[in-house]
Amino acid sequence: MLSILRRSLLTIFCAYGGFILAGMGFQKMTEYADFQEVARTHSLVGFSFNLVVIESVVALLAVVVGGLPIVVTVIKSALVRRRLTPLFALAMPVLAFGTFFGILPLLKAVFHPGNQHVLLGRGLFLGTLLTTAIISVGSICFAVARSEISEKLLRFALPPSILATLSMALMSVSTFIWGLGLQESAPKLFTGNDGIVGSSTLGTWLGIVIAMALATTLAVISLMRALSARVTLRKATA
């Protein structure tokens, strides 16, 4: 049951990582002036957007509160046992994102606006970002999975996981409502090509909503397994 609890919490973290990628796509699309103007002038679009921002902060804080003690434990355990693998795994996100930001100027220089290969450049950017995120999340999960984490810490991480999952669900609903509000208040913008890498706004919004929904569903399923494992552990120690 302790192993199930740990795997379930790690799966929630992975789901959150995927959710963050979808959220970054939403943030990138809505940073354009046209979307910001609609958010300022139409209450439904503005309210749903602000709710996404607020819940994203709540989810991030929940993940940090629940995960930071576990990461500290992994580091302490690796230092005591003189095991470099967990430390290297925890350092991998820094290395991965450092590499990503290092090649970003090169991508901008080679595939600048007006270049006939600009779409290829944007595709490489998204692919590199996705690869960086997968490596980062996977390396953290690897470090935690290969370390001994006490039941107390896993229990401590469960309430923040509940809050993070709830925030993901609310963000998914808010993003869906945002799109409906945009369709009603600015139909030309909604049916235009102002999505990611110049794609359809409607298609980008649907893709983001679907990705958020899938990540949230995975988190909810894992959360239910984690709660069930906690109940079993509590009965076993009663």
Does the pLDDT value for residue 222 go beyond 90?
Answer: yes
Q: What is the pLDDT of residues 119-145, one digit of tens each?
A: 666 677 777 878 888 888 889 888 888
Indicate the pLDDT class of residue 211, thresholds 50, 70 and 90: very high
Alpha-helix runs per DSSP H in 82-111? 84-110
Q: Which residue has the higher pLDDT, 138 or 232?
A: 138
pTM above 0.75, yes or no: yes
**Percentage of the chain lying above the pLDDT 90 cut:** 39
* Mean pLDDT over each residue of the chain, to the nearest integer: 86
Phi first, then psi: give them for residue 150, nearest 5 degrees: -70, 155
Under 8 Å between Cβ of 191 and 201: yes
Phi first, then psi: give them for residue 29, nearest 5 degrees: -70, -40
Does the pLDDT value for residue 191 go beyond 60?
Answer: yes
**Percentage of the chain lying above the pLDDT 70 cut:** 91
Domain boundaries, the chain: 2-237
Does the pLDDT value for residue 96 go beyond 90?
Answer: no
Collapsed DSSP state (helix, strand, coil) of residue 197:
helix
The CA distance from 228 to 230, in Å, is 5
